[in-house]
Amino acid sequence: MDSDRQITVSRIFVPAMDCPDEEKEIRTALARLKGVEEIVVHLFSRQVEVRHRCALEEILTALRAIGMEGRPLGGALRHADIPEAVKAPLLAFWVSAALLCAGALLFLSSPSSPWPGWLFLAAILAGGGRIAAQGAREIRNRSLGMNALMTISIGGATLMGEWAEAGVVVSLYALANVLEARSLDRARKATADLFTFAPESAVVRVGGVGGREKAVPAEEVREGDILVIRPGQRVPVDATVYKGVSDLNESVLTGESAPVEKGEGDPLYAGTVNGRSLLLAEALRPLSESTIALILRRVEEAQARKAPIQTFMETFAAAYTPAVLAAALLVGIVPPALGLGALGVWAYRALVLLVIACPCAIVLAAPVVTVTALTRATRDGILVKGASHLEALGKVHSVAFDKTGTLTRGKLRVTRVVAADGFDEAEVVRMAGAVEAGSAHPAAEAVRHEARRRGIAQAARGTLARTFTVLEGRGVSAEVEGRRVYVGNSRLFEEIGSSFGATGLPQSAGGEEASRTITLVGTEQGIAGFLEMEDEVRPEAGEAVRSLASLGVRHVVMLTGDRDDVARAAGEAVGIEEVLSGLLPDDKLRKVEALVASYGTVAMVGDGVNDAPALALASVGIAMGAAGSPAAIETADVALMAEDLRKVPEAVVLGRRMVSVIRQNVVASLAIKAGFLVAAVSGYATLWMAVAADMGTTLLVIGNGMRLLKKTERPV
């Protein structure tokens, strides 16, 4: 039974689809099939995405029936999978153009000869055969596409005896088809170039480190395999360095070509290139789950997402074509009927309107820009979920930064341990270390590191998994050796009503520095001591904040769960005046809500630790350092692959450029169409002008979109 079959989603590449009328044909043809649930058409990439229950073969057959060959696409990870569009035949253009020229020359030498006319007619037939055949197919498929319109136009002009002009229209149209297909293809290839970075092969040691070397396709590498990565080779899958030290070019992911030093235990990412020396590495996950695969999947999804302006233009185009056709009909009939002029004059104007009815440039105006902008962003290490997020970034009025892990490196270092009366430092570190074993917070990493440095044995923590709890934005707690131990900030200890003993803060605690975070350790009965930790402000943070200001994003705030004096010190270091400290994740959320209410479009930049709800609520959530975090790639609106805050202003600039180029395209395509509508009705436009203008607009729109592929200048 049909309905019992599972729904599958297939992507089919249809080389012959390059205009909205072909989209309509495909829609009509596929909608007729039983078991087709949904059809999404991506004109720019010439792909049809079908959710279907029926066999894929049925869909391909239906496409073939309307004269379109379809090629199903796999998860296009390999460049070879990026399909070539059919080469539009240039021959039709050359033949009809040659016949036209011959006719024109003959006419100049002997104006009275009948031969030029016959040559013009031959030009019409030579170039028009294909157009008429396709036009007939369109009409048969019940869609009045560009070819059908052109056939009527050219046929009409021929019948009216305008052979020279009809000949010019035929060859211009043939040329337009070729040029448009080529430039669209170039744009499409440029955006598909990202996929060449997917690694192809790997060298593994069969049976472990000492094993024999064997080359295998990258897809076949399994978790735990030992990889040999020679200088100049691409890392085949995400892995961890097992032996060796080398520099890697990670520009594939981050857009930054400065080499990154890697040694034992460091993560390697599939697709990045090994520099000077040999590395042995242990595969962390298969290629299909590696960061680059996630990114490429994300990019595909993002390109497939339609921005609101794109949907608007498509809706507009859907109404535009029938409206112009109706106008053509009226222009051809009404004025002559009212005795306002000869039938021939108005019929000719109606034919010009038919040419102008093609919505190609209108429909391409937006997607050709969004896709190139998304490509540019990915190349710069800015992974965006969809063009609408890029658009929102361009409009941002206010940016909120999380502190720990975002404005600071989030690599805390314990600078001092202070024990309360009756405890010693080792005991404080031991208790803290036992609880923090379960936490992923940067503070926890610092505590664990300190415990290791001091050679402090870990406390028994058999019950850790069962008793460990996170007190968001305050700290953590767990049962250690029968007592519940808390590790966190002073707020946490206020909440549980615990304080230092009668002696108050230990004597040695004086002179603490404002820039240092204090992590207290204790139980409900009392505080045993604290660890003082230092974090480092990212060197580029100040520049990023200044760039935002120079872009007119005046309102920049810091949201943090840390102490006020620590937060202020960091704010001063990076140039953020408005600092909101002591916030719980919920408070961050409410603050972002308030910002959205007063500033409209707000971006929140965070590292995903304790700020995920705020990231989700902001108009645009930006996650830092996503190369190491698959979750961030999946969920953030915008994921910065490199830990470089300057990418934030860069993304704002790209968003603005995208919006302004889309605006130019939309205005240009609509204005040219509108101008020609008026010119056609008032008799100033000829057929060949309309064809040339239509071609010109399409090429203009594509060329303008391609400008975005150029690197975004870093704002100062």
Question: Which positions are catalytic?
Answer: 402
Tell me: does residue 609 bind ligand ADP (CB under 6 A).
Answer: yes
Q: Are 664 and 685 in contact (CB under 8 A)?
A: no
Give me the least distance between CB of 454 and ligand ADP, in Å please: 18
**Separation CA 402–CA 392 (nearest Å):** 20
CB–CB of 701/364 below 8 Å? yes
Q: Is 303 in the site for Mg ion (CB under 5 A)?
A: no
Is residue 227 a contact point for ligand ADP (CB under 6 A)? no
Nearest to 107 by CA among 98, 118, 91, 96: 118
Distance of CA 615 to the CA centre of its chain: 18
Q: Give which of Mg ion, ligand ADP, none residue 291 binds (C-beta under 5 to 8 Å, depending on kind).
A: none
Q: Is 571 one of the binding residues for ligand ADP (CB under 6 A)?
A: no
| Chosen from Mg ion, ligand ADP, none, partner binding at 42 (C-beta under 5 to 8 Å by type) | none
Which residue's structure tokens are 């599958």?
8
Q: Does 405 contact Mg ion by CB under 5 A?
A: yes
- 547 touching ligand ADP, by CB under 6 A: no
Amino acid at 344: G
**With respect to ligand ADP, which residue has the nearer C-beta, 158 or 519?**
519
474 binds ligand ADP (CB under 6 A): yes
Cβ atoms < 10 Å from Cβ of 479: 18
176-185 burial string, b = 16+ CB within 10 Å, else e?
Answer: bbbbbbbbbb
Which residue number, 375 or 404, has a Cβ lying nearer to ligand ADP?
Answer: 404
Q: Is 477 in the site for Mg ion (CB under 5 A)?
A: no
Q: Which residues contact 575 (CB under 8 A, 6 or more apart)?
A: 542, 545, 546
The CB-based long-range contact list for 211-215 (8 Å cut-off, 24+ gap) reads: none
Q: Which is nearer to Mg ion, 185 or 637 (CB)?
A: 637
Residues β-bridged to residue 216: 202
Contact partner, 370, from Mg ion, ligand ADP, none, Cβ < 5-8 Å per class: none
- CB closer to ligand ADP out of 199 and 561: 561
Which of these segments, 226-234, 245-253, 320-328, 438-446, binds ligand ADP (CB under 6 A)? 438-446
Exactly one of 52, 430, 441, 568 binds ligand ADP (CB under 6 A); which one? 441
Laid out side by side, the sheet with 555-559 consists of: 382-384, 638-640, 620-623, 602-606, 398-402, 555-559, 578-580
HSE-up of residue 145 (Cα within 13 Å, Cβ side)? 25
**From the list Mg ion, ligand ADP, none, which binds 177 (C-beta under 5 to 8 Å, kind-based)?**
none
Contact map string, positions 402 to 431, toward ligand ADP, x by CB under 6 A: xxxx--------------------------
Nearest to 525 by CA among 557, 493, 551, 553: 493
Where residue 265 falls (left for φ over 0; alpha for ψ -120 to 50; beta otherwise) is left
Please state the closest distance from residue 637 (CB atom) to Mg ion, in A. Answer: 17
- Total chain residues near Mg ion (CB under 5 A): 4
Taking contact as CB under 6 A, which single stretch among the options 60-68, 134-142, 274-282, 471-479 is the one that binds ligand ADP?
Answer: 471-479
For residue 691, state whether it binds ligand ADP (rule: CB under 6 A). Answer: no
Q: Among 519, 669, 704, 712, which residue sits at the site for ligand ADP (rule: CB under 6 A)?
A: 519
Among 204, 253, 287, 443, binds ligand ADP (CB under 6 A): 443
Question: Does 477 help bind ligand ADP (rule: CB under 6 A)?
Answer: no
395 and 651 in contact (C-beta within 8 Å)?
A: no
Q: Which CB, 444 or 624, lies closer to ligand ADP?
A: 444
Give the separation between CA 95 and CA 98, rounded to whole angstroms: 5
Q: Please identify, among the stretches 113-121, 204-212, 348-356, 403-411, the one whose residues bind Mg ion according to the rule CB under 5 A.
A: 403-411
> According to CB under 6 A, which one of 517, 547, 619, 669 is a site residue for ligand ADP?
517
Residue 404 binds Mg ion, judged by CB under 5 A: yes
Q: Which does 561 bind (CB under 5 to 8 A by kind): Mg ion, ligand ADP, none?
A: ligand ADP
Q: Which is nearer to ligand ADP, 376 or 403 (CB)?
A: 403
In 3D, which of 509, 511, 510 has the Cα closest to residue 520?
509
Which of these ranges, 252-260, 354-362, 454-462, 556-564, lies near ligand ADP under the rule CB under 6 A?
556-564
Structure tokens belonging to residue 217 = 């396709």
123-131, 305-313, 472-480, 641-649 -> range binding ligand ADP (CB under 6 A): 472-480
578-580/555-559 β-pairing: parallel
Smaller CB separation from ligand ADP, 95 or 487: 487
Going by the DSSP 8-state scheme, the letter that residue 460 receives in this structure is P
Laid out side by side, the sheet with 483-488 consists of 413-419, 526-534, 516-523, 483-488, 475-480, 469-471
Q: What are phi and psi of 538, to 5 degrees?
A: -60, 135
Q: Are 284 and 333 in contact (CB under 8 A)?
A: no
Contacts of 291 by beta carbon, 8 Å cutoff, 6+ apart: 238, 253, 269, 270, 271, 627, 630, 633
Could you tell me the smallest distance in angstroms from the CB atom of residue 503 to ligand ADP?
Answer: 23
610: left (phi over 0), alpha (psi -120 to 50) or beta: left
Minimum CB separation of residue 588 from ligand ADP in Å reads 7
Q: Does 473 bind ligand ADP (CB under 6 A)?
A: yes
Q: Which residues pair with 485 in a beta bridge?
A: 478
- Our finding on whether 561 is near ligand ADP (CB under 6 A) is yes
Nearest C-alpha neighbor of 360 from the set 34, 690, 90: 690
Question: What, of Mg ion, ligand ADP, none, does residue 619 touch, CB below 5 to 8 Å by kind?
Answer: none
Q: Give the residue at shortest CB distance from ligand ADP.
A: 561
Residue 411: count of CB within 10 angstroms of its CB: 13
643 binds ligand ADP (CB under 6 A): no
Among 250, 402, 637, 644, binds Mg ion (CB under 5 A): 402
C-alpha pair distances (Å), 442 with each of 12, 155, 273? 46, 74, 29
Please identify, using beta-carbon distances, which residue of 81 and 512 lies nearer to ligand ADP: 512
Residue 441 interacting partner from ligand ADP, Mg ion, none (CB closer than 5 to 8 Å by kind)? ligand ADP
DSSP string, 595-637: HHHHHSSEEEEE-SSS-HHHHHHSSEEEES-GGG-HHHHHH-S
Helix 308-337 with 20-31: angle, nearest 10 deg: 100
Smallest separation, CB 575 to Mg ion (Å): 19
Total residues at the site for ligand ADP (CB under 6 A)?
Answer: 23
Q: Which stretch, 151-159, 415-423, 483-491, 500-508, contacts ligand ADP (CB under 6 A)?
A: 483-491
15 binds, options ligand ADP, Mg ion, none, Cβ within 5 to 8 A by partner type: none
489 is a contact residue toward ligand ADP (CB under 6 A): yes
Shortest distance, CB of residue 617 to ligand ADP, whole angstroms? Answer: 15
Residue from 226, 239, 609, 651 that binds Mg ion (CB under 5 A)? Answer: 609
Q: Which residues bind Mg ion (CB under 5 A)?
A: 402, 404-405, 609
Binding site for ligand ADP (CB under 6 A): 402-405, 436, 439, 441, 443-444, 473-476, 487-489, 517, 519, 560-562, 609-610
